[in-house]
Amino acid sequence: MTHDTSADTDAATGPSAEGPAVTVERRGHVLLMGLNRPEKRNAFTMEMLEQLARAYYLLESDPEIRCGVLFGRGKHFTGGLDLQEVGPKVGTGELDFTTPGLRDPWRKEGTWTTPVVMAVQGWVMTLAIELLLAADIRVASSDAKFSQMEINRGIYAFGGATIRLPREAGWGNAMRWLLTGEPYDAAEAHRIGLVQEVVEPGQQLERAIQIAEHISEKAAPLGVKTTLESAHRARIEGEQAAFHRLEPDMARLLRTEDGREGMASFIERRAARFTGK
């Protein structure tokens, strides 16, 4: 759902009316993905959806990328879908992420092995909350305002919030916001587990990058991928299927170069130097 689309930018996050709808930048092993329509409060068009899906494909398919950061340029993360353009296409089933080179940014299908840290500020509306729920670690500016307002426009949250928010926040907390569409603040988002950290305005992207760089530089890449695989397996196949793979996956990791390096660094009391092999 969109809102007033008057100009609204913030130099702190480097907004630009030029260039792609979603910027993609490599910083070491981290992939920075920025929503880049600040003059329209990052309201999602079909072009933005496709470009974000391409960025998520790169995130998951490039072995050199160990973590992603999703953020919005300008004062707001997003006001939601640009319904004037996207709405009719939703009704005809044209939102299709099965084309080669695309991955669904809402991560509704399949197993994912590259973590995503998400930074939000200002308006965090509708599909933005569902992107948060699909991310792995979430950081919010203290000025962020959240709303799952689809229910007030004759539709409902179809990007996964009806499934994930009850799991993350508990039934009552989820229904409180899904069924009313009322806005809530960053403190409430933190209370219900929608975000893991709340920081001062303007610090959300820096903090998200710090977390992503820690994962990409300090954590063993194969261990990170296996951790996410295990969690997704439990979600998709059930807990018993995930439990069944714990020991075999551990044995496999111990046979890798990173596994041997991890053991050696522990014995030698030094920082590990992981290569992802």
**Long-range Cβ contacts of 85-91 (<8 Å, 24+ apart):** 85/45, 85/46, 86/44, 86/45, 86/46, 86/49, 89/46, 90/158
pLDDT at position 181, please? Answer: 94
Average pLDDT over residues 48-52: 94
Global confidence as pTM = 0.88
What's the Cα-to-Cα distance from 1 to each of 66, 151, 277, rounded to whole Å? 32, 11, 44
pLDDT at position 82, please? Answer: 75
Residue tagged 């759902």 (tokens): 1
What does the pLDDT look like over 60-103, one tens digit per residue? 999 999 999 999 999 999 998 876 666 666 655 666 788 889 99
Average pLDDT over residues 152-181: 94
What does the pLDDT look like over 184-239, one tens digit per residue? 999 999 999 999 999 999 999 999 999 999 999 988 999 999 999 999 999 889 99
pLDDT at position 109, please? Answer: 81
* Mean pLDDT of the residues in the chain: 88
Q: Catalytic positions, please?
A: 130, 150
Determine what percent of the chain is predicted with pLDDT higher than 70: 89
